[in-house]
Amino acid sequence: MVKILRENNKNFLENFKKILIKREMIDYSVDQVVDNIIKKIKDDSDSALLALTKKYDNFRASDVNQLLVRNGEIEKSKKMIDPKVLSSLKSAIKRIKDYHKRQIPKNDLFRDKHGVLLGGVWNPIESVGLYVPGGTAAYPSSLIMNAVPAIVAGVKRIVITVPAINGVLNPVILSCANLLGIKEIYKIGGAQAVAALAIGTKKIKKVDKIVGPGNAYVATAKKKLFGMVGIDMIAGPSEILIIADKKNNPEHIAIDLLSQAEHDRLAQSILITDNESFAKKVIDNITILLKKLDRRDIASESWKNYGVVIISKTIQSSISLANQIAPEHLELAIDNSKKYLNKIKNAGAVFLGKYTPEAIGDYVAGPNHVLPTDRTAKFSSGLNVLDFFKRTSIVSCNSKNLKKIGKDAIVLANQEGLQAHALSIECRIKN
């Protein structure tokens, strides 16, 4: 039975805190397995990669070159794709590119009151690895969202790794990669793919950053190899929070809640409304709709274990609660939703109005759907073009302005006991 919390109840705050607990299945054996995989890649390079690919993906490649996708495979994949799917992929890529182009940063150089040249310049990361989940499921939208900001940023080398069960890749993923213009694609997955990208092998050159979702082994490998390589984030289970008034169609809200529940058994769907009668209608519709979903088992378990309905006092208090939850996705399905936007402080993405379901953001709206989860929206942002840039600070003094600002630096260097620091400035301004 779904949890129902009422804000006017005495024990509300106590029960509210319980829904904020991190949702994860802790399996300490994952750490050990990943440590072993990383060590094997370090020690045995390509031969380890071949052995691990055989073990985990049942792909018996005799040579590491067989892990690289060939042009012939890409051309073949294009013929296997429904033209409607291909057209929709093109449309999505264009919309998402157009949006991300607005995020390109500008160099900023200026002179302060002493004439010192200051500022910063932006340069794209040189090489990036995109981890794409494979197997039975194909998520081209995930590939697009991870690839587009890198492409827009001007990353020179973009590498895709995707597990190929029995050596076969989903043609939709291959076709999508082709539309994106990415040619370096390897049939490897799991922690071994992350390790190969982070460490490098004889065949695969290491990258500077790895982005993209994956299972517990992928996430753990990214976490362990961070520092040797940059990463985007450690993504947790999906989340949606909907603030809705009674003027909504309850079926619409119900299916929006289930759109995240069907992702993962650990996904969390939360409804906050100030009308209990409306809440009951939404719950009733969820019961009906669950029976129609192909992924009903997953969605049912998610809704049963982590689904929450909160009956708030007012819409304003609903927003206060939402800020504490800091959801990955937040729908404001209320009248005049835009006027509440400045009240939202913690959310990965906000969807305004009754006709803006979260699902539109997953595919074609424009903003990135790789978003902070597990309350991390309180301090982090979704994937964007800046994630594929690095900013370099610029300082330029001449003899005149170095004298003006250098005296204070000398005092501070001596205070810290760093004599050489002080002398490096002093020797230039003593005359």
Q: What is the pLDDT of residue 430?
A: 83
Q: What is the pLDDT of residue 137?
A: 61
Distance CA 125, CA 210 (A): 11
Q: Residue 77, exposed/middle/buried by CB under 10 A (0-12, 13-18, 19+)?
A: buried
Q: What is the pLDDT of residue 25?
A: 63
Q: What is the pLDDT of residue 26?
A: 66
Q: What is the pLDDT of residue 236?
A: 86
Q: What is the pLDDT of residue 302?
A: 96
Structure token digits, residue 381: 């942002």
Strands 209-211 and 127-131: parallel
Name the catalytic one among 100, 252, 263, 329.
329
Annotation marks residue 369 as catalytic: no
Secondary structure class of 135 (helix, strand, coil): coil
Q: What is the pLDDT of residue 431?
A: 67
Q: What is the pLDDT of residue 135?
A: 58
129: how many CB neighbours lie within 10 A of its CB? 29
Q: What is the pLDDT of residue 399?
A: 94
Name the catalytic one among 328, 331, 358, 369.
328
The domains located in the chain, with CATH, are 3-22+236-365 (3.40.50.1980), 29-104+129-231 (3.40.50.1980), 398-429 (no CATH)
Q: What is the pLDDT of residue 424?
A: 97
Judged by phi (left if over 0) then psi (alpha if -120 to 50, else beta), residue 329 lies in beta
Residues of the chain with pLDDT under 50: none
Residue 251 amino acid letter: E
Q: What is the pLDDT of residue 303?
A: 97
Annotation marks residue 328 as catalytic: yes
Distance CA 181, CA 169 (A): 17
Q: What is the pLDDT of residue 410?
A: 97
pTM of the model: 0.94
